[in-house]
């Protein structure tokens, strides 16, 4: 047994300083984040940290060396000293247990920045002295751009958390399970082809559009998945001259999905076209999710449309 228990996240150095600063400022503002502490990496010493050593008879293990190696790639540590209070507090259920509100915030940052912002490790020390460390692939910078303005990120996270707590909203609109496929698409950037990444992002749109159609009693009328996505995106206001590229893009995204999942191959496209459609879909699906969580301004929608059409 130990008097010290905690759950701790090691945040990658790839997280921009401006983003880390905004998350740090959020901690005292939101009741859901009460008790969480943000510690800059240069102020954290692992062997002198809270709960170390895990017990009086603790023998240093290879995990200690791995954590010390991870510390060299960290920008910050986020920890809570009562895991029983915060474990299973995740609203999005993107990661397996033990997921917390910190996983949700990192996922919201991933949507806003259009790239995977997961912590590179999570460490849990329980009151019985048992210790668990889960290591995650470090984020890899993607050639995509943010869909939520940097200056609005704090408000975006607060508004999003509030939206996710509104009754059954996330299930009613299909946000869950769409976000699970979206998260897999982001992580696939490290090792997968653009074809697989495109297909996974497409499925997140497919789920959202099916839920939209189902809620309006149109499943029997609109059975084609591509038509459902077009109906859904039109209903969300992605129309007009600025979004004129979207119809052909949806046709191409759907073609990749069908070829990959039904035929086991991909369209014969140039590398440029795969990159173009991949970047467009990554940023568009991110923007759709962001707009569902917090309605984006007309000027931001115009900016995103202009950027995606220029690829």
φ, ψ of residue 53 in degrees (nearest 5) = -75, 160
Query: How far apart are the C-alpha atoms of 32 and 118, rounded to whole Å?
Result: 19
Using the predicted structure, report yes or no on whether residue 57 has a pLDDT greater than 80.
no
pLDDT at 16: 79
Inter-CA distances, 105 with 37, 91, 167, Å = 14, 10, 19
Model pLDDT for residues 164-190, shown as the tens digit of each residue = 999 999 999 999 999 999 998 988 765
**In this prediction, what percent of the chain has a pLDDT beyond 70?**
94
Domain ranges of the chain: 6-135, 170-310
Q: Per-residue pLDDT tens for 73-101?
A: 898 999 999 988 888 889 987 776 688 99
| Total-model pTM | 0.92
Q: Which residue has the higher pLDDT, 301 or 266?
A: 301
Residue 48 confidence (pLDDT) above 70: yes
Between 138 and 249, the higher pLDDT residue: 249
Rounded Cα gap, residues 80 and 4, in angstroms? 11
Q: What are the distances in angstroms from CA 90 to CA 79, 86, 196, 208?
A: 15, 8, 27, 21
In this structure, which topology does domain 170-310 adopt according to CATH?
Answer: 1.20.120
Is the confidence at residue 263, as pLDDT, over 90? Answer: no
Maximum distance among all alpha carbons in the chain?
69
Q: What per-residue confidence (pLDDT) applies to 158?
A: 94
Q: How far is it, in rounded angstroms, from Cα 71 to Cα 50?
A: 15
Kindly state the tokens that stand for 79.
């920890």
Residue 55 predicted with pLDDT over 70: no
Average pLDDT over residues 131-159: 82
Residue 239 has pLDDT above 60, yes or no: yes
Q: How buried is 163 (Cβ within 10 angstroms: 0-12 exposed, 13-18 middle, 19+ buried)? A: middle
Residue 140 has pLDDT above 80, yes or no: no
What Cα–Cα distance (Å) separates residue 59 from each residue in 25, 54, 55, 176? 37, 9, 9, 42
Strand partners of residue 124: 7, 132
pLDDT at 191 > cutoff 80: no
């Amino acid at each position: 047994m130990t008097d010290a228990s905690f759950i701790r996240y090691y945040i990658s150095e790839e997280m921009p300083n401006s983003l880390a600063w905004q998350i740090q400022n959020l901690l005292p503002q939101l009741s859901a984040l009460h008790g969480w502490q943000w510690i800059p990496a240069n102020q954290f010493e692992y062997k002198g940290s809270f709960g170390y050593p895990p017990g009086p008879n603790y023998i240093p293990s290879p995990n200690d060396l791995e954590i010390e190696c991870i510390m060299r790639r960290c920008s910050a540590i986020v920890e809570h000293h009562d895991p029983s209070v915060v474990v299973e507090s995740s609203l999005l259920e993107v990661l397996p247990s033990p997921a917390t509100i910190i996983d949700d915030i990192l996922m919201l940052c991933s949507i806003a920045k259009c790239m995977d912002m997961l912590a590179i490790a999570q460490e849990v020390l329980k009151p019985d002295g048992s210790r668990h460390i889960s290591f995650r692939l470090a984020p890899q910078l993607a050639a995509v751009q943010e869909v939520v303005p940097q200056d609005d990120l704090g408000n975006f996270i607060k508004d999003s958390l509030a939206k996710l707590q509104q009754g059954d909203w996330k299930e009613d609109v299909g946000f869950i399970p769409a976000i699970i496929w979206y998260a897999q698409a982001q992580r696939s950037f490290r090792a997968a082809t653009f074809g697989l990444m495109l297909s996974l992002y497409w499925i997140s749109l497919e789920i959202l559009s099916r839920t939209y159609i189902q809620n309006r009693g149109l499943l029997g009328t609109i059975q084609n998945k591509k038509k459902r996505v077009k109906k859904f995106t039109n209903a969300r206001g992605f129309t007009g001259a600025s979004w004129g590229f979207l119809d052909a893009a949806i046709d191409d995204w759907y073609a990749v999905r069908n070829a990959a999942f039904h035929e086991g191959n991909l369209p014969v496209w140039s590398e440029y076209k795969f990159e173009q459609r991949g970047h467009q879909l990554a940023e568009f699906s991110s923007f759709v999710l962001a707009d569902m969580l917090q309605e984006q301004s007309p000027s931001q929608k115009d900016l995103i449309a202009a950027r995606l059409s220029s690829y």
